[in-house]
Structure formats: C-alpha cells, structure tokens
C-alpha cells in the first residue's frame, strides 16, 4: 500500500467512525418530534432538515460565484480558474451528488423509521452538514484529506438506504 493510500484509508475510516458516533450521539440527544404518524407529517418534519443539509452546497456555490466575480475567471469559458476555484467546484459537484442521494434517503427514512426514532432525521442532516464541511476543508488543505468527509457521507447514505430497505421489508 502506498503512502497516499494509507492516508486515504486512515481518513476514510476515521470519517466513518466520526459519522457513526455523531449520528448516534445526536439521535439520542435530540428528542423525537411530537407529530401525527402519517407519511405527510413525517415528510413535513423532514423537509426543513433537508434545507439544513443543503446549506453547505449553497455556501459552496456562493463561494464559487464570488471567486468568479472577483477574478479573471468571471468568464467560465476562458479556463482562468485558479486551484482554489477548481477545488471548490469539485467539492460543490460532489456535494450535489451526495445531497441528491441524501435527500432521497432522508425522505424515505422519514416515512420508514418508527415514529419514536424520528430523531434520526435531524441527526443525519446535521451530520451531513458537518461532514461536508470536513470534506471541503480537507480538500482545500490537500486532496487526499478529503477522505474523512467523503467516506462519512457516502457510507451514511448507504446506511440510510439499508435502513429504509430494512424497515420497508419488515
């Protein structure tokens, strides 16, 4: 295994552990909502948390827009982006991809999880935000350091999908 691969695997594993701990901690600290047990009420509960999860993407797009406005890269067809802007673009692109999966999973999870476990919804939304920021900061430091933020959200999405199928098939 190369040095770079060791850095990435260590980062990925630490990100997954951090995600599991954060989701577990938040879902025990946050009380489940007092809502009616209907799909509409569950989706209505999850919707504002989806907006919270979209905040990092919005911040990334603002950062890219501001960078473009204040630089020679104002015309995106000229290829004048600096390394910082290229990284921010890649971070935003990956965050959009992860957010689409997260949003689908969040809505399905809100409709599937037992009502007394609905505190998982804000827990995963907050964790999504935190780990996307970790991804962004890590990528800006060095591309190999994006691993904790990437793996945490990718595996959280996977775990959400597995949970949805588990509750659906029960």
At 4-15, the pLDDT tens digits run 999 999 999 999
**160 contacts 23 by C-beta, under 8 angstroms:** no
Measured at the alpha carbon of residue 123, what is the angle toward residues 120 and 128, in degrees to the nearest 5? 125
If pLDDT is split at 50, 70 and 90, which confidence band does 110 have? very high
- Output the pLDDT for position 170: 86
Structure tokens at 87: 């990284």
Mean pLDDT (the chain) is 97
Q: Longest C-alpha distance within the chain, in Å?
A: 57
- State the CATH number of the domain containing residue 123: 1.20.120.550
What is the number of other CB atoms lying within 10 angstroms of the CB of residue 45? 18
Percentage of the residues of the chain whose pLDDT score is greater than 90: 99
pLDDT at position 63 over 90? yes
pLDDT digits (tens, 9 = 90+) for 64-99: 999 999 999 999 999 999 999 999 999 999 999 999
**Whole domain around residue 77: which residue ranges?**
3-169
Per the structure, the count of domains in the chain is 1
């Amino acid at each position: 295994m190369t040095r770079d691969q060791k850095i990435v695997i260590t980062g990925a594993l630490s990100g997954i552990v951090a995600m599991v701990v954060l989701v577990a901690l938040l879902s025990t600290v946050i009380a489940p909502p007092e809502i009616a047990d209907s799909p509409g009420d569950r989706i209505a509960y999850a919707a504002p948390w989806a907006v919270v999860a979209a905040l990092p993407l919005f911040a990334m797009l603002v950062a890219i827009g501001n960078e473009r406005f204040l630089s020679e890269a104002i015309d995106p067809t000229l290829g004048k982006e600096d390394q910082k802007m290229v990284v921010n673009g890649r971070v935003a692109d990956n965050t959009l991809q992860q957010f689409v999966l997260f949003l689908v999973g969040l809505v399905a999870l809100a409709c599937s999880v037992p009502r007394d476990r609905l505190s998982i919804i804000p827990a995963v939304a907050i964790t999504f935000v935190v780990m996307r920021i970790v991804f962004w900061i890590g990528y800006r430091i060095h591309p190999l350091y994006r691993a904790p933020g990437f793996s945490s959200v990718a595996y959280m999405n996977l775990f959400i999908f597995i949970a949805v199928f588990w509750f659906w098939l029960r």
